[in-house]
Amino acid sequence: MDVWLARLRLNIKSREVRRDLRDAVALHRRVMSLMPDGLGDKARHKAGVLYRLDETRQGPTLTVQAGLLPSDERLPEDYCEFAVRQLTPLLKALQPGMRVHYRIAANATKRAAKSDQKHKKGQIVALSGVAAGAWWQRQAATHGLSLVTSFAQPHPQARGEREDGRSVCHAVTRFDGTAIVRDADLLREALVRGIGRGKSYGCGLLSLAPVRRPA
């Protein structure tokens, strides 16, 4: 299966961009507009869509990964600079022992245990600080990565309101660093499926780049 990666350098002067950046639900809809119509229920899952919003020197950049070729035909005029490429060669190149740079914006959470006096048993609890770092350490190991370095940075919560009136609120922590591939098959699956909760609202996309050795 081919996997595609689109990068959208957002035009902050655009009214539509500013609105989408304030509303996680609106941003989700905008991302899904890159996909073809007719996907039916669970369209994001069927299209394999994952995305992440990053602040860069050039301004906000949206990275969108999908199993279908993204198209900018339905984006508003002057919404962004759009570029797309295949991610499949990187997926095929992964092998045990490879050293990689990684980035993921994740919704680090846990289910409250009966012994947790602050929350009801089974409640989803957002993690931060050391607890969020430990969560990522476990997730990385489970999905075929052995972390070498890890730097955590809290990001603004993903907030919005769905059409049914239900509120969306996901804590977001971005993790950057280097790692060693331990299980390439597990890692490929994690790259395609995403990691953790909040995938519809900008969480879970794991990005990798090989560490280049000095010439």
Query: How does pLDDT run along the chain (215 residues), one tens digit per residue?
Result: 799 999 999 999 999 999 999 999 999 999 999 999 988 889 999 999 999 999 888 889 999 999 999 999 999 999 999 999 999 999 999 999 999 999 999 999 988 776 665 667 777 888 999 999 999 999 999 999 999 999 999 998 999 988 888 888 899 999 999 999 999 999 999 999 999 999 999 999 999 999 987 65
Q: Which of 25, 40, 63, 57 is nearest to 206 (CA)?
A: 63
**Domains of the chain: residue spans and CATH:** 4-86 (3.30.70.1200), 96-210 (3.30.70.1210)
Q: Which of 179, 89, 63, 170 is nearest to 125 (CA)?
A: 170
Q: Which of 31, 8, 5 is nearest to 87 (CA)?
A: 5
pLDDT confidence of residue 118? 66
Prediction pTM value: 0.92
**Phi, psi at residue 131, to the nearest 5°?**
-65, -40
pLDDT confidence of residue 188? 97
pLDDT confidence of residue 41? 87
Q: At what angle do helices 15-22 and 24-32 cross, to 10 degrees?
A: 120
- CA angle, residues 76, 69, 36, in degrees to nearest 5: 60
Element (H, E) at 160: strand 151-161
| Torsion of the alpha carbons at 57, 58, 59 and 65, rounded to the nearest 10 | -100
Place of tokens 């350490």: 137
pLDDT confidence of residue 162? 87
Cβ atoms of residues 100 and 189 within 8 Å: no
